[in-house]
Chains A and B, each alone.
Chain A
Amino acid sequence: MIYLDNAATTMHKPQAVIDAVVNAMNSIGNAGRGANTASLGAARLIYETRERLAGMFGAESPKQIVFTSNSTESLNIAIKGLIDPGDHVITTVLEHNSVLRPLYELQEKGVEITFLESDEKGCVRYGDFEKAVKDNTKAIICTNGSNLTGNLVDIQKVGEIAEKYGLLFIVDASQTAGVFPIDVKSMHIDVLCFTGHKGLLGPQGTGGMYVREGLSVRPLKSGGSGVQTYSRKHPKEMPTALEAGTLNGHGIAGLHAALGYIEETGMDHIREKEQFLMRMFYEGVKDIPGVKIYGDFSSYNRCPIVTLNIRDYDSSEVSDELLMTYDISTRPGGHCAPLMHEALGTVEQGSVRFSFSHFNTEEEIAAAVKAVRELAEE
């Protein structure tokens, strides 16, 4: 199988990640529940993982890193825990449903939302952010990279706007964490939401968020914490405040190893390889008659994603044909990005997304280009 659906999840994990999960399942207890060897083993591993993530994102302290099960949970905690009825929020049409749906829920409760339009290539216009700011604007919530087109959003630039107007800046880094450098301090990020199973190369069911020191987020859940058992309230100290219940220690062990792998291999090296493969694919298919590519390719410094359609073929049929005839895995349809599809005019047809990992090879890319060419010629 040629796996080109890495924006959904990076299927190929480093062996160290797999080994770490197996080792953890043979050895660790429940972090913070008792002081026995197994429990402490879990607590140490989890704390070290916080440290690695804090280092990667430039967090003030490992305590500002919260573990969740995925970006969706992190975004729900951030959005529902910081935005109140009467507040105004600025977001973009590039967003995934994990941002949009919590916002639609809040809209019904009296939160005002501005969805910034994109241009014809699916890029945000940075001037629009400032124009949308109102007296009751509380936050800017935006993605670092579109999961549909792969277009990046310059979160440095948006962060500076948020800082200028005293707005909270909540970033969805689902497509970029682990591959693109993110520095929460210089980018003025208040909450960074990430998943562990994409660019961070960890197991599914791992994810997390960075929350700026001093920022109080209303928790989505309360419950077991391992501390203050007889208090009727969940502890308010970070990271426990946002981590009710047993953490996914086995998964976090894998994430711990994945972060070690990224550090050893080099984030720049990983990104350059993925962008090289993306470019190879893009240049191979862009001039094929009948192929329409979406997104901005004026720079190759973008998420390693190429999304396209062939003639007026249904994207699901194309993806299925790629699988059945060529054994190539891609993702068709809507990609949980309804507003981006509306902006690109692809609601009916959907689109076929090819997304790359540094574990992919040039031979695989050549095979994918050949497959697209053959389908377009049919």
Chain B
Amino acid sequence: MRKKELRLVVTFHTTADAMAMEKECKENQVNGRLIPVPRSISAGCGLAWCAGLEDKDTILSMMDQVGIEHEDLHECMV
């Protein structure tokens, strides 16, 4: 297993929100990728956006700007 790092993990209510996030991040050249929601955050399933903590402000302002609805923001070892 890869070594875990403290990273930013954004969760969403629906897959459509996660896909919108991926698309906007790509268009706005924001780093990160979709991952399965880590067990430490939720016992459910679904997609989450995972990025470096250093990108947190950029990500938050971009989500705000383009109107992406997220469920929660986490900083966790993934």
Contact = CB atoms under 8 A, between A and B. Distances in A.
Main secondary structure, interface of B, reads mixed
A62 B16 contact: yes
Contact of B34 (A33, A35, A229): A35
B20 A230 contact: no
Given A44-B22, A47-B23, A62-B20, A31 B15 contact: yes
B34 A226 contact: no
Interface string B37-72: 000000111110000000000000000000000000
A316 B12 CA distance: 54
B58 to A, nearest CB: 22
A43 B45 contact: no
Interface in B1-26: 12-20, 22-23
A50 B16 contact: yes
A237 interface: yes
Interface residues of B, number: 19
B19 A43 contact: yes
B14 A240 contact: yes
Interface residues of A, number: 24
Interface in A224-242: 226-231, 235, 237-240
Interface in A3-44: 31-35, 40, 43-44
Contact of A35 (B12, B20, B36): B36
B77 to A, nearest CB: 18
Contacts of A32: 15, 18, 46-47
A152 B25 CA distance: 42
